[in-house]
Amino acid sequence: MSEVSSNSSAISGVVKWFDPAKGFGFVVSDAGGPDILLHVNVLRNYGQSSVADGARIDLTVQKTERGVQATQVHAVHPPAAAQAMALSDIVGIDPALVAAAPLEPARVKWFDKSKGFGFANVFGKSDDIFLHIEVLRQSGLSDLQPGEALALRVINGERGQMAAEVHAWETVRLDSSGTAQS
């Protein structure tokens, strides 16, 4: 990706921090320069309401009178450290088994970042699906809001159904049959 110029340009960088409650955060460009403001509305246009600290991110940015600001998110990649973390409920589960599970459309019932978990419901089903913050981090997310649309790969964990993979619904592609694909 190119360096930040006086016009809009594409950059890659790392999320320095993002606070969904404040509605903004900052990105550090791989090319250096000033921190880049990432507003929650720009992130929502991409289909997410949060992004994990340390996540890699591809953006279009623009210089303004107030500094460099993100105008569009193109991709979010989970933090490298999150990929190495393992949740005890899914340790030992074959990654091919998780990948073979269908992406199911769901809505967040509630999520409490300070507790590190919450629940969602797959459309058309009443069962609660457990959402753990480490699974969110592995997906490049840091928080969820009630009613937020997701695509989940659900497995049976030690304590019931749980999300093994989470995607913001807007980032998922549908194939010709209407089935979600990551």
Q: What is the per-residue DSSP string for 123-150?
A: TT---EEEEEHHHHHHTT-----TT-EE
Domain boundary among 45, 77, 109: 77
Are 94 and 144 found together in one domain?
Answer: yes
Residues forming beta bridges with residue 60, ordered by sequence position: 10, 72
pLDDT of residue 156: 85
CB atoms within 10 A of CB 41: 9
Domain that holds residue 131: 81-181
Structure confidence by residue, pLDDT tens digits, 42-67: 998 988 888 888 889 999 999 998 89
Report how many domains make up the chain: 2
Structure confidence by residue, pLDDT tens digits, 7-17: 789 999 999 98
Are 55 and 139 found together in one domain?
Answer: no
Tell me if 58 sits within 8 A of 43, measured CB to CB.
Answer: no
Show the tokens assigned to 43.
Answer: 């992130």
> 138 lies in a domain?
yes
CATH code at position 28 = 2.40.50.140
pLDDT of residue 4: 42
Are 86 and 173 found together in one domain?
Answer: yes
Are 124 and 150 found together in one domain?
Answer: yes
